[in-house]
Amino acid sequence: MAAGALAVAPLGIYYGVEARPYALATLVVAAAVDRWLAWQDRRRRRDVVLYALLAALAPYVHYFTLFVLPLVPLAAWLAASPRRRSDAVLAVAPLLAFVPWLFAFGLAHAGADSKAWIGLWWARYGALGSVARSAAALGGAGEYPPYLGVLAVATRGAPFAVAGTVAFGALLVAGAVAQARAGARGLLALIGWLLAPVAVPVAVSLAGLPVFIPGRYEAFALPAAALLVGAAATLRARWARWLTWGVAVAWTAMLGQTVVAYLGTEVERPVRLVHGLLQREGPNVGEVLAVGFTYAPLRAAELADATGVPVRPVPPALAVHPGWEQTSRPVDAEDLPAPLGRPGEVWLVSQPGDGFERWADAQDARLVAAGLAVTRALAVGDLRLKVFGGPATGKALPAAGR
């Protein structure tokens, strides 16, 4: 059941396909906790050495692992019998390896403008709102951006989102009860592992340093959540076991339909097609203005196989961080890049449903005001491509070298 929970968890799939460190950090944390629990049980030196190496590596993969390690090993240490003081030191000591990075880069980076959007998000939702959205994300009902298709129960409507979150919470409670009745020594570590990625960052944010938004850092708790869901199947009372399996099947079925739908969306195909078109017509294109969530994948495709055509984000702040918080603020004139004036067409690429429609419309108007006219309009999957030529004749601008 634990394996099944991980297989259909939208949060795990979301970060499993994203080229960022969340999935790797989750693996490193899980392996570190596993070796620590092995050390507590068997006292083999190789286990504590592996824990130390993994715990030292984890913050370099993603600094948010500091909110999980060493809290989870310390929770296991509190439940250990006999409790050795040296183990408490061993749980913390490997994290000292992160100190050089912290002083060389981390402290300066923490106050950078690139993190300001987290504060804006936190001010909008606060502690209770963040915790509620974290529970929804773990339960498979998170608010995922539309460009990922139907990768959330929330896309099926509020009743499904609430039902998914409640069912998942019931499975976690049932798993904790089963572990407690079985006298499992790792229960306190599992509970700490489940709560730490949310509770600690929320506490830090409440203290005046907003560092938390829901829907991503909960990924570090996914292994613990899956283990508790699996433990729910071991309740001794037959009626409780049948009820638990019934809830688990219903929850898995709700998530399963979203996973099946997501697998058929081919989210990368439209970007590949647009960039393939750019490769073919590159000599006639002066620049590409990519709106909202179209920017990051198009820029990545251009870096991987360069055409030499500038790809610029709309709004420009997306070059720093492609965050959802941009969609909630008003469009400013500075968010609309003026044409570079390079010979050739101007391509405007957007994605209806990603929350940046206002920017696409405003950028369209800005190009028209600059004297350009739409010569072609294409739909490529869920992407929209408008080709602007000029000036106001409906013809493409002359290509470079012609």
Q: Please state whether the predicted TM-score (pTM) of the whole model is above 0.85.
A: no
Inside any domain, residue 398: no
* Structure tokens belonging to residue 250: 């219903």
Mark whether 152 and 286 lie in a shared domain.
Answer: no
Mark whether 310 and 177 lie in a shared domain.
Answer: no
Mark whether 231 and 274 lie in a shared domain.
Answer: no
Mark whether 171 and 295 lie in a shared domain.
Answer: no
Residue that terminates a domain, selected from 239, 263, 287: 263
Inside any domain, residue 399: no
Looking at residue 51, what is its pLDDT? 97
- Residues β-bridged to residue 93: none
Inside any domain, residue 116: yes
Mark whether 185 and 301 lie in a shared domain.
Answer: no
Rounded CA gap, 333 and 312, in Å?
A: 16
Sheet containing 345-350: order of strands: 311-314, 285-291, 345-350, 383-389, 373-380
Mark whether 318 and 237 lie in a shared domain.
Answer: no
Instruction: Indicate the length of the chain as a whole number.
Output: 402
Looking at residue 55, what is its pLDDT? 96
Among the listed residues 32, 48, 37, the one whose alpha carbon sits nearest the alpha carbon of residue 79: 37
Rounded CA gap, 140 and 149, in Å?
A: 14
Inside any domain, residue 395: no
Inside any domain, residue 394: no
State how far the alpha carbon of 112 is from the alpha carbons of 86, 116, 325, 335, in Å: 38, 7, 17, 20
Chain centroid, CA 249 distance in Å: 26
Q: How many CB atoms lie within 10 A of CB 177?
A: 17
Residue that terminates a domain, selected from 263, 282, 315: 263
Mark whether 242 and 339 lie in a shared domain.
Answer: no
Residues of the chain with pLDDT under 50: 392-402
Mark whether 217 and 110 lie in a shared domain.
Answer: yes
Chain centroid, CA 338 distance in Å: 32
Mark whether 212 and 287 lie in a shared domain.
Answer: no
Mark whether 138 and 205 lie in a shared domain.
Answer: yes
Is residue 290 within 8 A of residue 314, CB to CB? The reply is yes
Is residue 63 within 8 A of residue 106, CB to CB? The reply is yes
Inside any domain, residue 402: no
Inside any domain, residue 397: no
Q: Which residues of 44-76 are buried (b: 16+ CB within 10 A; e: fewer)?
A: eeebbebbbbbbbbbbebbbbbbbbbbbbbbbb
Rounded CA gap, 302 and 305, in Å?
A: 5
Inside any domain, residue 358: yes
Give the count of domains, the chain.
Answer: 2
Mark whether 175 and 71 lie in a shared domain.
Answer: yes
* Structure tokens belonging to residue 243: 């009820």
List the domain range (segments joined by +) for residue 327.
269-389
Residue that terminates a domain, selected from 263, 293, 324: 263
Mark whether 244 and 375 lie in a shared domain.
Answer: no
**Start-to-end C-alpha separation, the chain:** 64
